[in-house]
Amino acid sequence: MQNIVVLISGGGSNMMALVTAAKKNNWTDRYQARICAVISNNPDAKGLSWANDQGLNTQVVNHKDFLSQTEPRRAFDQALQQCIDVYEPSFVLLAGFMRILTPEFVAHYQDRLINIHPSLLPAFAGLHTHQRAIEAGCQFAGATVHKVTAELDHGPILAQAVVPVLPSDTWQSLAARVLTQEHLIYSRAVELLIKRPSANV
């Protein structure tokens, strides 16, 4: 069985879309793959209760618990890794997980760590992507699913969706349209990965 762990920090709408797609498209029987756990760095993440209601394992590794450590980011990542590895995951999916991960963590899950980013990478890596796209005068924006590397918001691109930037757009209205596409392309990209797992070893 290909176990999939999803990491969230907030409402988890991309996680919800992934779980819904996994059930609708019957990943378990068709691909021997299942989303088995949702883990958050935020104990107040609203997505946790939804995931729990779906019968998924939910856990919290609060990054604030490690702030007193000499190297808080590394200490948090090590604890998170221990939590994830219990599930022996084939893939770890970042779904609005608002933490910059250490190179050691990324290397541990090489070719298994997947992210979705709300821009057409390599454009607008980092935060505030929609506002930056509008300010730059872009005619198009979008979302990118990619494998995670040590360099922030880089790595091989697995899927992209393009959304027009309208003259009337605010960053909020653009973000809402992009998010709709995120929900579609993330599950499609993951489904392609689990259909041919041998190609990802």
**Which residues are annotated as catalytic?**
117
Residue 165 and residue 138 in contact, taking contact as beta carbons nearer than 8 Å: yes
d(CA 85, CA 83): 6
